[in-house]
Chains A and B, each alone.
Chain A
Amino acid sequence: MATTIADDLTPMHHPRTWVGKYVWSQDHKVIAIQYSVTAIAIGLVALVLSVLMRLQLGFPGVFPWIQPENYLQYVSMHGMIMVVYLLTALLLGGFGNYMIPLMIGARDMVFPFVNMLSYWVYLLSVLVLVAGFFVPGGPTGAGWTLYPPQAISEGTPGSQWGIVTMLVSLAIFIVAFTMGGLNYVTTVLQARTRGMTLMRMPLTVWGIFIASIMGLLAFPALFVAAIMMLLDHVAGASFFMPSMMSMGQATDTLGGSPILFQHLFWFFGHPEVYIVALPAFGIVSDLISVHARKNIFGYRMMVWAIVIIGGLSFIVWAHHMYVSGMNPYFGFFFATSTLIIAIPTAIKVYNWLLTLWRGDIHLRVPMLFALAFLFTFIHGGLSGLFLGNVSVDVPLSDTFFVVGHFHMVMGVSPILVIFGAIYHWYPKIAGRMWNQALAQVHFWVTFLGVYAIYLPMHYLGVLGVPRRYYALGETSFIPESAHLANQAISIAAIVVFAAQFLFFYNMIWSLFRGPKAGPNPWGAASLEWQTPDTPPRHGNWGAKLPTVYRWAYDYSVPHAPRDFIPQDEPHPKDTAP
């Protein structure tokens, strides 16, 4: 194996065989595609689980094979897969891998072998996760938060085996992520081409870069928590298990602290929200700038906001634990820090809007998705301000208001960005365009559909409908209209689910039949569109690395011949004697 140093060509080792090129590949682009396909595949499982949940909630009793314990298992696996195995893996392992080297002008990641290993270990974690569906007792039903003691106590679905596969899979995932994350961070620091200063990097790279650092520092908490719970479960330790009565009998656990787990979990869990959000922020900035033909408003502020959000998100975790009880001063501290995060976040939102302001907006599909993100993100952000207040959170906690909130802000928003990003970069990745009409239909059904799904959930939450409930039964405070709303939500969910097949059909159709894209169909300025080949070959840049002369946002520059200037085009000053 030849080690690639990303900034020179000589030690580059081009594999000859098909297996070397596409299976045990060390090319960041192939690894990115492997990551993406795996993440989307497991994400589809989570999507199917959500439809099953909606069937049960909308039409209780119609599907006798969905038992209460099944419902809990669907909820848990759906949540965990969506957050960790789909979004994290797709945004960092997929987009991070593909975009970082191309956008900073590198030939590859700095540790290609570790990068390859990262993918295969990730695949292993997915296989262990899937194995959970087939072990006796099925997967865990403890909720994606896996709180002990219930996660490993009798009576919870999957408390024997399902929880073990879940925890082992998470530990493996974290090892894979750490290998990938070290690569992303080091590549950004070390392999930028000549002239690519930190502040000339596209915001996509900034988002992925900071998210990777956060992942490296946050996932260890989950790792530690998973190992400790495994020891509690299989080796009889009592880190998290208090002495308690279970099924009428005293367990032989002693003195452990469930709250300790919650702290560890949310020390990971809250930054995780931003690990998913920051890459989406970065990508959306670039989509808006390219398709509005304007430089991003307040570039430096955008970068600083990303960095500040990344830092702050490590000191707010306990806002997830208001109902677990805490010292009021702590509650005050965490409520305050939570609200402070709203400031840099709001700055970003204003800057996006100001970028759009009087722009030359092209409503192409990637732009539509970016705009849709603004809607759902602002929406979810506002309901988050409510929940950040202790006194408002306590009655709303564990209701569908929370479900509506976090789906808007961290479920739907990143997913919309991912769609936009795929529509945007697919012409570079595959060299072909999509069918625009189908893409438009896919957009409108998805965008309006998610509103039809999640808006009513806020209302249900205010009524007091609890989350993670298999059925509401005869509950006096829940009016008939709530059942009607539930049916409507379920129908919308099924329609949205079906519409995703348009997306996959379009993707496959375009791969074979789509019109040729050319190197730079959107007229974008950033480096990834300036590669000598489309799709880029192994090594990305041919004989010579590009040199960067400007930032990535030179759009509609007065007196320029075109309405964009690529990053590798010299200034007149540079070429004049």
Chain B
Amino acid sequence: MSLLRRLGEKSWETPGAEAYREPDSYRPAAATVGVYVYFGVATVIFTLIAAAYLARMGLPAAMEHGAGADWRAMPEPPLLWINSGILVLSSLAWEAARRLARRGEIGRMQAATLAGGGLGLLFLAGQLLLWWHYQTAGYFLSANPANAFFYLLTALHGLHLAGGIAAGVRALGQPGDAGRAARNVRLCAVYWHYLLLVWVLLAGLLVMT
């Protein structure tokens, strides 16, 4: 039933529930819906920061003191690209796990989830290394608004990924029926793809400006 038709229902005259199927039979699992609703929240967070980034970047530099323009974009070391590559691989591993789960190949699916989670951790380690790299090169958070935005965005993205890893460990560590495990793997995969998309857009924003 389309949403508009459902919102147009004349509920005061519909005959009775016998016309309706058992809700379990057609609704997606609650966890699935929960994750998609959360995407809405995360999208607002990242969009707002990106909008603030663009707005702040366009502001004229301070007038009275501080030499010249106050916005200086950060350099892009190779590590940025390496980390991005790792995240892509991680997402691919989750995608493989998702497909294996659908085909019921549980053993290989578990290997793929381990690879996906492990690569996720590696990405986080790489991001920390990137931070350290910037720190030693003098790109402190307080030195420039571009830096501050960079740290803020990578921190929030990293937290989301860490949360994903924690949720994945919790969901897959629980013994349960195979159907549930497959659903959890699918959700993890979707979540990873979402975070990859966010990262691509963020990295694009950082590189383009």
Mark A residues whose CB is within 8 Å of B: 5-8, 110-111, 178, 182-183, 185-187, 189-195, 197-200, 216-217, 220-221, 223-224, 227-228, 231, 235-239, 242-243, 250, 254-257, 260, 264, 267, 295, 299-300, 303-304, 307, 547-551, 553-554, 570-571, 573-574
Contact = CB atoms under 8 A, between A and B. Distances in A.
Contact of A574 (B15, B27, B71, B142): B15
Contact of B8 (A194, A239, A300): A300
A199 B7 contact: yes
Category for how many chain B residues contact A = 35 or more
Contacts of B15: 571, 573-574
- For A111, A199, A547, the residue with the greatest tally of chain B CB atoms inside 10 Å of its CB is A199
B52 interface: yes
Nearest to B38: A182
Contacts of A264: 48, 52
Interface in B13-43: 14-18, 20, 22-24, 27-30, 33-34, 37-38, 40-41
A571 B66 contact: no
Contacts of B16: 195, 549-550, 570-571, 573-574
Contact of A254 (B12, B22, B66): B66
B37 A193 contact: no
A337 B52 CA distance: 23
Given A111-B34, A189-B33, A216 B66 contact: no
A351 to B, nearest CB: 14
B56 A237 contact: no
A62 to B, nearest CB: 45
Contacts of A549: 16-17
A198 B6 contact: yes
A236 B33 contact: no
Given A571-B15, A571-B16, A224 B34 contact: no
Contacts of A187: 30
A267 B30 CA distance: 29
B52 A260 contact: yes
B55 interface: yes
Interface in B128-174: 141-142, 145, 148, 152
Contact of B52 (A228, A235, A548, A571): A228
Interface stretch (B57-65, B76-84, B196-204): B57-65
Contacts of B8: 300
A182 B15 CA distance: 32
Contacts of B63: 243
Contacts of B6: 197-199
B30 A5 contact: yes
A231 B141 contact: yes
B12 A299 contact: yes
12 contacts: A110-B34, A186-B30, A189-B27, A200-B9, A217-B41, A217-B44, A224-B49, A228-B152, A231-B148, A231-B152, A235-B148, A574-B16
A299 B11 contact: yes
A155 to B, nearest CB: 20
Contact of A221 (B23, B48, B141): B48
B45 A223 contact: yes
- For A198, A220, A300, the residue with the greatest tally of chain B CB atoms inside 10 Å of its CB is A220
Contact of B61 (A193, A236, A255, A550): A255
Contacts of B49: 224
B9 A197 contact: yes
Nearest to A216: B41
A195 B33 contact: no
Given A5-B30, A254-B62, A255-B71, 16 more contacts: A110-B34, A192-B23, A195-B17, A197-B6, A199-B6, A199-B7, A216-B41, A237-B141, A237-B142, A238-B70, A238-B148, A239-B148, A255-B61, A255-B145, A264-B52, A300-B8
Given A7-B24, A197-B9, A299-B12, A186 B33 contact: yes
B48 A260 contact: no
B103 interface: no
A260 B58 CA distance: 12
A217 B45 CA distance: 9
A126 B14 CA distance: 46
A161 to B, nearest CB: 20
B12 A551 contact: yes
A304 B9 CA distance: 12
Contacts of A267: 48
The 5 closest A-B pairs by CB, nearest first: A195-B17, A236-B142, A574-B16, A110-B30, A237-B148
